Amino acid sequence: MSETRKIQEIGKSLYVSLPKDWAEQMQLKRGDIVTLIPQQDGSISVYPEEKEEDFKQIDLEINEESEQSLRRRITGAYVDGFDIIQLRTKDRFNDKHHDVIREITEELFGLEVVHSGSNIVTIECLLKPNLPIEKTIDRILNITKAMFDETISALKEHDINLARGVSRRIRDIKRLSLVIYRALRSMILFPTLAAREKMSLVDSVDYLHVLYRITGTAYNIKKSSESIVNMGTQKLPMSVSKRLSETSDLTRKLYEEAIQALISNDIVLADHVLDVEPDYNELWNLCLKASQNSQITSLTFSYVHRIIDNLTQIQQYAAEIAEIAIDRAETQKKKAD
């Protein structure tokens, strides 16, 4: 329910009182600190100071959970920014549950089991809230770029071992991305944390969207490398091989340009990414023709088809990142004006 307040003046300062009901609900008293966060529409949001010693805890009741369900619930609580995750069961945790808990705490940065009983397990996240978000995203970008480079090299050189190595990088991508998802979602759920980190809520949402597309790109690269491994030593016809390499190079270039446009607020470069679209249909038709002429087996054809699908998805991610880059650059320009 909205309320109106009259602006008062003391000396050269202006002030406005807070609604009494709201202050009581927030348990505010004289001398407490509130955070004022300007919004893009010109309004200001008021947030009570978040006590640093207050840990955010979630209690999860575990009954006849499958291992995958238990894994999803712990990961979800981690990403949502909870500091303490307490697992309870009516009877006893079985061996499979203990194995999953051990595995997930090893996979996710900062998680430690601080108590393990027969029917209660307490997991604590030791990560500090002030993570270097931009630096960590940059690490993810570097890993993704290396995966892309190696996948294209493996494709051109028929290097199965190089392609196998690409898939192993995805574990690092997953761990790092979940850390950033946790940090960004915490800033959205708890705006005072975003204010302390000098990051707007819009920035947090933008980074979440970009991170989703970066990790999506990494998984598409992984699937392409797996297709290369499955093709083995089967060589493609020169017409298909040449066009597949060229299309892969162009897709990688567009992805890297989209990222660069985002980092440098370069609208012209982002527009270029949106204007250029590789001809995946032509590549698909070349593969189809080679298959019909028995130049490649039906199995190899299916693997090449998967690579083309992955490249198409990566190009779509690049276009979406470019659109975010344009929106952010225009917003920065308006602020500067």
* CATH code, domain with 75: 3.30.110.60
Residue 99 lies in a domain: yes
Average pLDDT over residues 159-178: 88
Q: Which helix (H) or strand (E) holds 123?
A: strand 120-125
Q: Are residues 99 and 44 in the same domain?
A: no
Residue 329 lies in a domain: yes
Q: What average pLDDT does the structure give for the chain?
A: 86
Q: Are residues 77 and 218 in the same domain?
A: no
The percentage of residues in the chain with a pLDDT greater than 70, rounded to a whole number, is: 90
Residue 3 lies in a domain: no
Q: Are residues 93 and 64 in the same domain?
A: yes
Q: Are residues 257 and 166 in the same domain?
A: yes
Q: Are residues 115 and 217 in the same domain?
A: no
Q: Are residues 263 and 332 in the same domain?
A: yes
Among residues 182, 214, 322, the alpha carbon closest in space to that of 264 is found at 322
Q: Are residues 110 and 144 in the same domain?
A: no
Q: Are residues 118 and 137 in the same domain?
A: no
**Tens digits of residue pLDDT in 64-108:** 778 889 999 999 998 888 889 999 988 888 888 888 898 988 888
Q: Are residues 81 and 177 in the same domain?
A: no
pLDDT at 53 over 50: no
Q: Are residues 35 and 104 in the same domain?
A: no
Q: Are residues 14 and 94 in the same domain?
A: no
Residue 302 lies in a domain: yes
**Tens digits of residue pLDDT in 222-267:** 999 999 999 887 788 898 999 999 999 999 999 999 999 998 999 9
Residue 1 lies in a domain: no
Q: Rounded to two decimals, what is the model's pTM? A: 0.74
The Cα 286–Cα 176 span in angstroms is 38
Residue 121 lies in a domain: yes
pLDDT at 210 over 90: yes
Total domains in the fold of the chain: 3
pLDDT of res. 109: 83
The domain in which residue 305 lies consists of: 133-336
Which residues, in sequence order, are bridge partners of residue 34? Answer: 48
Using alpha carbons only, what angle is made at residue 164 by residues 163 and 165, rounded to the nearest 5 degrees? 90
Among residues 325, 105, 107, the alpha carbon closest in space to that of 210 is found at 325
CATH code of residue 326: 1.20.58.220
Q: Are residues 77 and 164 in the same domain?
A: no
**Tens digits of residue pLDDT in 271-294:** 999 999 999 999 999 999 998 988
CATH code of residue 27: 2.10.260
